Structure 1
Amino acid sequence: MAVPSSSLLSSLLLLALLLHHCSAAQDHGSAAVIVNISSLEDVVRDRAFELLHRTDKLVGVPLTACPSPCGLVEVQASALRVRSSSLWADGVNATAADTAGFTVPPRVVPSPFARRVDVVFERFVGGNSSSGALFAAPPGYALAAPVAALLAYDVSTGNNGSRAVGLRALGAPVRLEFGYLAPAAANGTPPFNATAARCVTFAVDSGKAKAVATHAMASDTACTVTGTGHYGVAVRLQPTPPSLTPPTPQPPAAVRERWWAWMAVAGVGGVVVVGFLAATVVAAVRWSRRRRREEMDLRALAGEELGRMAVRGSRMPAAKMVRTRPELEDGSPMAWRR
């Protein structure tokens, strides 16, 4: 596995100024610049393809051409052309002490397969990226290091490097080094702690980046990644302390005693009201029952009254007249002859 020296790597990582695909907008009298990440990386890819025609070593990618003078984005980029067989057997180590870089271990293949690939490493070190306009940290976090991108392009025979490919690790994962991380991050974050920091994965869609996943760091300065993409390191922001409200003043003793007196009066009054309501309900029920009984008696006494007769000291009802008198039919035998 080839390991470039620290001086060589530092000389290869050149600072570039890129102006591309941006529009000016007024905000309180100042112009804001919108940068398309995909267009920016297309310029880096094309420049790397031109430089790697003449060498197979790790080279810096200086960006001197500016499509339009509308903004500044500082990007450090380096590129390396490697055969897939060498990538599988030896991997690539493009890191040095206290500097950012990447390590591709053996047993890594391009996906989809390509015989030769250009591996491009980028760091968004200034401009809009430092203010979070290009890469925004997840809610509650702040970026502690410049966002790094590891990209790969197919440069096999007949290809101009415009087709992006992934790096599929069948053994150890790909490793990104972020270099020196500040002991205290900005925005009121606590001192950097690798055990509490998170590696952030960004997804770029239509030229804009969005944080989609986080995972723990592999070491104090490195993250293991699944392959190509955009990655950063974020630390949690300190929560805002809650505002302390002054305690409610206690009422004086005289007010408290008067309050208890009013509570006692209210309790006695409530009992009296409840008792009165209960008595009213009972009286209403009794009156209703008596009223119904009287109505039934009146309905029973209505109409013609039967006569009464005395039978051995008892008075019994008796009819005042007989409508049909008993008669004997002709030919009927007498009762005593039956």
Structure 2
Amino acid sequence: MEVSVVRLRSFSLWSRGMNYSSFNLPPRIVLQPNAKRIAILFENLGNWSSNYYNVPNHTMVASVFGVMAYSSSETAFVDEKINFTTHGDPIRIRFPHVDQHGENDTPICAKFRAGGLVKFKNMTKPYVCEVYSQGHYTLVVPSFPSPKEPNTRSHSKRFTKWWVLGFVIGFAGLVILVLILLALVKEAKKRRIRKMEKNSEGGELFDTFWIGESKLPSASMLRTQPTLEN
């Protein structure tokens, strides 16, 4: 954890702004209430960041940086806390050390507000947050999978489901087609047999007998009687 205090005149801050470490304060910063001298407190919570702040459903990938202003006098180096806002360019906070994160997870700026509320804002430059008021800031990434991953998995599951369903329907259709063809062949065979039987009835009559499922003609055996010759 690092804490630094810089004391200066409010007019100097208004006219020239100031740079300190990872902070860039532009000109035209308005103090509320106004003070002749001010003390600006710069904080880098470092490894203590997670002990003081937490972002639901997000992971902090940088230290928490803070910037605050206090009135200052000859008797009190740091007196009452005062607010300040910019009426021109934003305050820029650069985060020099950022933890590794997913390739598809772009860090976003997070501002900690009163009551545990957190305000998010996209970075304008890599690992740089642009803000317009004092407070505590950090960089965070979502702690849950990015939207692309579940969509890809869902698409893959839907594709597999429809592929299996199509295979089952196609196989069932093929089985039905084979059964229909077998039934047609069997019916055609029966028709041929009936036609043959009908044709046989128009010729010489024979007795018939059955062997298994086959119907065969049977002729009566007649023997020619012998005759005596003189």
**What's the TM-score bracket when you normalise by the shorter of the two chains?**
0.5 to 0.7
Alignment of 1:143-158 (within 5 A): 143-157=60-74
Q: Which residue of structure 2 aligns with residue 233 of structure 1?
A: 139
Provide the C-alpha distance between the structure 2 equivalents of 1:107 and 1:178, rounded to a whole number of angstroms.
24
Runs of 4+ in 1 over 3 A off after TM superposition: 157-160, 240-254
2:89 aligned to which of 162, 169, 172 = 172
**Alpha-carbon shift at residue 146 of structure 1 (Å):** 0.8
The percentage of aligned residue pairs carrying the same residue is 27
SS in 1 for 2:12: helix
Q: Which residue of structure 1 aligns with residue 118 of structure 2?
A: 212
SS in 2 for 1:109: strand
| Gap runs ≥5 in structure 2 | 177-230
Q: What are the Cα deviations for residues 227-256 of structure 1, in whole angstroms up to 9, with x where unaligned?
A: 2101111123452745859857859859x9
Q: State the TM-score, normalizing by the size of structure 1.
A: 0.42
Task: Letter of the 1:215 partner, please give it.
Answer: K
Task: Letter of the 2:109 partner, please give it.
Answer: C
RMSD: 3.0
SS in 2 for 1:172: coil
**Alpha-carbon shift at residue 89 of structure 1 (Å):** 1.6
SS in 2 for 1:217: coil
Task: Letter of the 2:5 partner, please give it.
Answer: A
SS in 1 for 2:52: coil
1:223 aligned to which of 129, 146, 167 = 129
1:87 aligned to which of 4, 9, 13 = 13
Q: Which residue of structure 2 aligns with residue 52 of structure 1?
A: none
Higher helix share: 2
Change in 2 beyond 3 A, CA 1:238/1:106 = same
CA contact (8 A) 1:114 1:156 kept: no
Q: Which residue of structure 2 aligns with residue 142 of structure 1?
A: 59
**Alpha-carbon shift at residue 160 of structure 1 (Å):** 5.5
Task: Letter of the 1:77 partner, please give it.
Answer: V
**Structure ranking higher on relative contact order (CA contacts 8 Å, 6+ apart):** 2
**Alpha-carbon shift at residue 133 of structure 1 (Å):** 4.4
Task: Letter of the 1:170 partner, please give it.
Answer: H
**Alpha-carbon shift at residue 138 of structure 1 (Å):** 4.4
Q: Does 1:181 align with 2:98?
A: yes
SS in 1 for 2:38: strand
Q: Does 1:125 align with 2:46?
A: yes
Task: Letter of the 1:203 partner, please give it.
Answer: R
